[in-house]
Structure 1
Amino acid sequence: MLHHTQGIVLGTIKYSETSIIARIFTRKFGMQSYIVNGVRSKKAKGKTALYQPLSLLDMVVYHKPEKDIQRISEAKFSVSYASIPFDPTKRAIGIFLMEVFSKVLRNESENEPLYQFIEQSFIYFDHQEERFNNFHLQLLLKSTNFLGFGPENGKDLIYQLEEAGFHYSLVENELALLDRLMNENIGANISIPNTFRRDVLDHIIKFYRTHTDTLKEIKSLEVLKTVMTS
């Protein structure tokens, strides 16, 4: 049966000489795997661009609940990015978030509020011309509320990490910055030193790991750290 849905591309793997399997977080069905035949052939005329990291797609798909891999009947961009693929910092942030979400959402079923939040956040991110160095921190912190394990505030986040066996000694100003990242709108003017930004990211990753069992190694993390300090 055919269904219409939107989706966010969270990774692809080669399936054959001309095909791929795309992992897509969809509005209607949650995380799904789709085989896309012939997309890498010479006759495909650039269709691989549809399945680049974080592409926002409008799709008509076949969906059979008993199958692990579905098929796409039609796909087109719902929104075309203007800056994320071309700005080195934005691209590094995007690839990092793609890797994190591809693992955290691996078994996520339909979650339309989370889908809508992530989609709208990336559209906003694409249009940001400044103050986007905290985007990944705010997106990950705010997404925890849609995933069911959002901390009440910065103090609660640190408390949960300490309960899990991690130990931190943050000063009051750092807790206040955590609270601002959680509560203020994405893109807010929150001035954070690079060293503390790295610390916050470390806290967030460990926080996710205490609540999920799928976020192991993050290969893109070192690239992100390099780009964010250059």
Structure 2
Amino acid sequence: MLVHTEGIVFSTVKFKETSIIVKIFTSAYGMQSYIVNGARSQRSKGKIALYQPLSLLDMVVYYKEGKDIQRISETKFAQTYTEIPFDPVKRTIGIFITEVFGKVLREEGENSVLFEFLFNSLQIFDRLRDNVANFHLQILLKATHHLGFGPANADDFVLQLSESGFHLSISLEEKKSLDLLMESNYGENIPLSLSFRREVLDHIIKYYKVNSGNLREIKSLSVLKVIFE
């Protein structure tokens, strides 16, 4: 069955001599694996560029229920980035959120609301000029509501972690900042110290680990922390 869908690329691995297997979170079917024959061949005319992490794609795919690896009939960029692949800070944040969501969404089925949230958030991120350093915190916090385990507010966030064995020492002012991260639009000014930004990130990762069984080690985390020093 041929189906039109949009997708977000999360990972690509080499397969045989010239092919790849790519994991794409689609609007129609959730996370799917696709084989792309000849993507790395000299005659592919840059086809591999379509399948870089976080690429936003417009696709026509073959879908067969119960099949582990599907095939793509046609694909093109739905939107192209002007900054994420080239700006060092945005690229590092992009690598981090690719790894986190790639693991969290590994078994995610069709979730069109979550897909639209991520698709739109990434486009905003590419255009973002101000307060870029808070983007990864905000997208992770906001995404929890589309994943089914969103906290009502900062107090609820702290309470859920406490009930899971993580007792946080957080001031009233820091709770206000956490609420702002959850509620504010991307790019709005939310002053955070370097130390508190790191603490919030660690708390968010703990929160995801408590609520998602797929998130374990995050290899890109150390690089992300270095870039904000």
Which residue does 1:192 correspond to in 2?
A: 192
Contact 2:10 2:24 in 1 (8 A): yes
Superposed displacement of residue 161, structure 1: 0.7
Q: Deviations over 1:68-117 (max 9, x none)?
A: 11000111000000000000000000110011001100111110010001
Percent of aligned pairs sharing the same letter: 59
Which residue does 1:204 correspond to in 2?
A: 204
Consecutive unaligned residues of structure 1, counting only runs of 5 or more, are none
AA aligned opposite 2:90: K
Contact 2:129 2:187 in 1 (8 A): no
What SS does the aligned partner of 1:134 have?
helix
What SS does the aligned partner of 1:126 have?
helix
Superposed displacement of residue 54, structure 1: 0.1
Query: What aligned pairs does 1:14-93 form with structure 2 within 5 A after superposition?
Result: 14-93=14-93
Which residue does 1:226 correspond to in 2?
A: 226
Decide which moves more: 129-138 or 3-12. Answer: 129-138
AA aligned opposite 1:53: P
Query: What aligned pairs does 1:111-126 form with structure 2 within 5 A after superposition?
Result: 111-126=111-126
What SS does the aligned partner of 1:133 have?
helix
Q: C-alpha separation between the residues in 2 aligned to 1:181 and 1:81?
A: 24
Q: C-alpha separation between the residues in 1 aligned to 2:85 and 2:96?
A: 13
Which residue does 2:104 correspond to in 1?
A: 104
Which residue does 2:216 correspond to in 1?
A: 216
Which residue does 2:3 correspond to in 1?
A: 3
Superposition TM-score, scaled by structure 1 size: 0.98
Which residue does 1:176 correspond to in 2?
A: 176
AA aligned opposite 1:4: H
Consecutive unaligned residues of structure 2, counting only runs of 5 or more, are none
Superposed displacement of residue 65, structure 1: 1.1
Contact 2:21 2:36 in 1 (8 A): yes
What SS does the aligned partner of 2:132 have?
coil
AA aligned opposite 2:216: K
Q: C-alpha separation between the residues in 1 aligned to 2:25 and 2:47?
A: 19
Q: C-alpha separation between the residues in 1 aligned to 2:18 and 2:7?
A: 22
Q: Deviations over 1:124-183 (max 9, x none)?
A: 110112211100100000000011100011111111111111111111111110000001
Superposed displacement of residue 184, structure 1: 1.0
What SS does the aligned partner of 2:54 have?
coil
Superposition TM-score, scaled by structure 2 size: 0.99
AA aligned opposite 1:163: E
Q: How many residues align?
A: 229
Which residue does 1:165 correspond to in 2?
A: 165
Q: C-alpha separation between the residues in 1 aligned to 2:16 and 2:92?
A: 28
Contact 2:14 2:21 in 1 (8 A): yes
